[in-house]
Amino acid sequence: MSEFLKKLSLSDDVATIVNSSSNVIIPQSRQHLLDLALVGEKDGIFEVGYDVPNKGYVPEVTITKCKNGAVVNYIDTYMRRRDPNCMLVADAKETDKEKYEERFGESFDALRQDTIEWFKGQEIILMPFMAGDEKLGYPAILVAPANAGFFAAGLADLQGFIKESDITEGFKPRSVIYLAPPYRHTHFDGKQVVVHNRLDDVHEVFSFNLYPGPSAKKGIYGVLLNLGELEGWTTVHASTVKVTTPYDNTVTIMHEGASGGGKSEMIEEAHRQSDGRILFGTNQVTEECVFVELKDTCELNPVTDDMGLCHPELQKDNKKLVVKDAEAGWFLRFDHIKKYGTSPHHEKLCIHPPEPLIFMNMEASPGSTCLIWEHIMDEPGKPCPNPRVIMPRSFVPGVVAEEVEVDVRSFGFRAPVCTKENPTYGIVGSMHVLPPALAWLWRLVAPRGHANPSIVDTEGMTSEGVGSYWPFATGKMVDQANLLLDQIVNTPNTRFVLMPNQHIGAYKVGFNPQWIGREFLARRGSAKFKPEQLTPARATILGYALNKLKVDGVDIPKGLLQTNLQLEVGEEGYDAGAKILVDFFKKELKKYLSPDLNPLGKEIIECCLNDGTIEDYLKFIPMK
């Protein structure tokens, strides 16, 4: 191991921890990591806990050894989802994010040094990996207590790890994750806190909790966003899938949106009834059901699940956006899988994986098979809304490893029920076509929307912020807004659509608008429509509504394309809902009006604030 450490160009603090540790564990293989996750297990269960001053031993996590993997369950139900307010910035560089000093009234320096001291003398896991991509990514390293092997294994599946034999001389981490769970109790009243400290030569991420969502997952996302911001590019918050029709026509769709916006769902098969039909929607007032029969569905080849690398070396002279996966594995949420047969593809992959998986927030007994529709209960009768599986992308059949050109960028939006008696912002039709300027505004506002399952509860509609990745970014909103606008202007041959999920007006639809829309776009070959096929939406913020959506000979009812035509909504309910949506956009967009904003962006935002028309938006960036 000493020869291995000599190859690493470690910062002084990491080197100090390594040199003073009682034992340094370097993961040798994926199986080694899984063994570390369960080291010392008794009767198939391993408990992770820590001695906390003035509290004694505090258990945090139980890990159950099942036939198909390790099942991680947090004892504190609050720890089963990401807290949207957990990220803080500690350095003096430019940021719009809350600073550590602002929240706690003191510099981070003392706690940082105390954390470094806490690691000394311990047995630790030291795991090198590449953040982002094995070729275009950045060297990084994890420093974690030895009993947090499951966290290291999860990070390794999400970002990959570098074996001792593959480390090259001079490996210099651009990022370090320090995992120090006891501080959640000693300093933060049990809350999730992740502190980003952007030093000149290394981006430090201090994770003071054991849930990997804000650190191993979104913490690394923040690292990539920061490095891209410095270099003039960004990592989009998106899933991407190549969709091939039965007649070999292929369309590549990239689906963006806030957490819960349907990114993972865009790359999975449509859910069917026992007779093979798809229940597109159920009217919540009349209980009328709309079914769709698809005999021949498209072949799906997933490219990305959540993080898309849009590196300039990929783009070159393309007029379409080019994207590559920024992850080695995917953090799949299965709250919608509540019974056997809902998603046979995922059920087969998780019940009989090529190698054991890491499951989170699911019921498990030692030696049993973890079933992805059996979710852990937060309280009696209330299942956890955030059951997860970390799926190495290499396990996914048909996955595309290389970069792809994007034909259509869709944006997902969780919508509530809307009726004339109870109007809400759930007025979005099954698919809307957006002019590029409006598509940019949707990426600035990124409504989090209705009943988000991925984070702790928030009330009403909130914004996930620029790119929908703003909760993970460390810099300035306006800089990311400019990067996204440049990206859209420079890739004019990629088109934009908007797709809701959960509800369309009075209909409960789940993720069917995405699944049916995906089939529709693939059969068309693009999102380019003739003028007579579109009509300006009654609410300009929704761009164009479709006059017709037909798949395999089945017409989707026009009321599901234009919600004002639903008797339960009508123009009165639609207009009231549109006002909620537009007022929300105006409130959020004002935040971007700064001297640093691209002048074109300023004009587009002012157009929205002044209730501009669809023709006004087309003048800014034509829709080819």
Contact in structure between 335 and 385 (CB atoms under 8 Å): yes
Q: Is 102 exposed, middle or buried (0-12, 13-18, 19+ CB in 10 A)?
A: exposed
Confidence grade of residue 1 (pLDDT, cut at 50, 70, 90): low
List Cα–Cα distances, 4 to 13, 127, 173, 288, in angstroms: 18, 12, 14, 65
Residue with tokens 């390794």: 156
Token pair for residue 123?
A: 């047995």
Alpha-carbon gap, residue 37 to 153, rounded angstroms: 7
Confidence grade of residue 342 (pLDDT, cut at 50, 70, 90): confident
Three-state secondary structure call for residue 207: strand
Cα-Cα-Cα-Cα dihedral of 243, 306, 145, 23, to 10°? 50
Instruction: Give pLDDT tens digits for 119-130.
Output: 999 999 999 999
Would you put residue 59 in left (φ > 0), alpha (ψ -120 to 50) or beta? beta
pLDDT higher than threshold 70 for residue 151: yes
Closest CA to 491 of 340, 317, 282: 317
Measured from the Cβ of residue 5, the count of other Cβ atoms closer than 10 Å reads 16
pLDDT higher than threshold 60 for residue 455: no
Alpha-carbon gap, residue 603 to 597, rounded angstroms: 10
Alpha-carbon gap, residue 96 to 471, rounded angstroms: 11
Partners of residue 389 on adjacent β-strands: 332, 359
| Centroid of chain to Cα 517 | 21
pLDDT higher than threshold 80 for residue 441: yes
Read out DSSP for 447-498?
A: B--S--SSBS---S--B--GGGTGGG--S-HHHHHHHHHHHHHT-TTSEEEE
Alpha-carbon gap, residue 379 to 80, rounded angstroms: 13
Contact in structure between 584 and 445 (CB atoms under 8 Å): yes
Three-state secondary structure call for residue 251: strand
Helical segments of 209-323, H only: 218-231, 263-266, 312-315
Does 14 or 4 have the greater pLDDT score?
14
Q: State residue 452's pLDDT score.
A: 57
Token pair for residue 226?
A: 């920061």
List Cα–Cα distances, 76 to 79, 80, 259, 367, 388, in angstroms: 6, 7, 22, 24, 16
For the chain, percent helix, then strand, then coil, each to nearest 5?
Answer: 30, 25, 40
Three-state secondary structure call for residue 137: coil
Q: State residue 123's pLDDT score.
A: 97
Give the side-chain half-sphere CA count within 13 A for 128.
25
Alpha-carbon gap, residue 511 to 394, rounded angstroms: 25
Alpha-carbon gap, residue 198 to 95, rounded angstroms: 11
Q: Is 478 exposed, middle or buried (0-12, 13-18, 19+ CB in 10 A)?
A: buried
Instruction: Give pLDDT tens digits for 75-119.
Output: 999 999 999 899 999 999 999 999 999 999 999 999 999 999 999
What is the CATH topology of the domain spanning 2-30+84-231?
Phosphoenolpyruvate Carboxykinase; domain 1 (3.40.449)
Q: State residue 164's pLDDT score.
A: 85
Q: State residue 522's pLDDT score.
A: 95
Sorted by where each begins, the domain ranges of the chain are: 2-30+84-231, 263-294+413-620
User: How do beta strands 507-510 and 278-283 pair?
Assistant: antiparallel
Alpha-carbon gap, residue 342 to 344, rounded angstroms: 6
pLDDT higher than threshold 70 for residue 42: yes
pLDDT higher than threshold 80 for residue 454: no
- Report the residue count for the chain: 624
Confidence grade of residue 615 (pLDDT, cut at 50, 70, 90): very high
Alpha-carbon gap, residue 624 to 622, rounded angstroms: 6
Helical segments of 323-374, H only: 344-351
Cα-Cα-Cα-Cα dihedral of 219, 220, 224, 229, to 10°? 10
Token pair for residue 399?
A: 């996955």
**pLDDT, mean over the chain:** 94
Largest CA distance in the chain: 73
| Centroid of chain to Cα 245 | 27
DSSP state of 419: -
Alpha-carbon gap, residue 527 to 517, rounded angstroms: 10
List Cα–Cα distances, 422 to 451, 505, 567, 568, 596, in angstroms: 17, 10, 13, 10, 40
Confidence grade of residue 169 (pLDDT, cut at 50, 70, 90): confident
Alpha-carbon gap, residue 159 to 510, rounded angstroms: 30
φ/ψ of 432, rounded to 5, equals: -120, 145
Non-local (6+) Cβ contacts of 137 within 8 A are: 130, 131, 224, 326
The pTM score is 0.93
Percentage of the chain exceeding pLDDT 70:
98
Contact in structure between 333 and 80 (CB atoms under 8 Å): no
Averaged pLDDT, 578-587: 96
Alpha-carbon gap, residue 101 to 343, rounded angstroms: 46
Would you put residue 189 in left (φ > 0), alpha (ψ -120 to 50) or beta? left
Instruction: Give pLDDT tens digits for 497-554.
Output: 999 999 999 999 999 999 999 999 999 988 889 889 999 999 999 999 999 999 988 9
Would you put residue 236 in left (φ > 0), alpha (ψ -120 to 50) or beta? beta
Query: Any idea what the Cα angle at residue 340 is, between residues 275 and 280, rounded to 5°?
Result: 45
Contact in structure between 479 and 107 (CB atoms under 8 Å): no
Q: State residue 525's pLDDT score.
A: 87
Alpha-carbon gap, residue 515 to 499, rounded angstroms: 10
Alpha-carbon gap, residue 343 to 516, rounded angstroms: 16
Token pair for residue 477?
A: 């909103």
Q: Is the domain covering 263-294+413-620 a CATH 3.30.1330.20 domain?
A: no
Averaged pLDDT, 485-504: 97
Alpha-carbon gap, residue 168 to 164, rounded angstroms: 9
Confidence grade of residue 457 (pLDDT, cut at 50, 70, 90): very low
Instruction: Give pLDDT tens digits for 17-36.
Output: 999 999 999 999 999 999 99
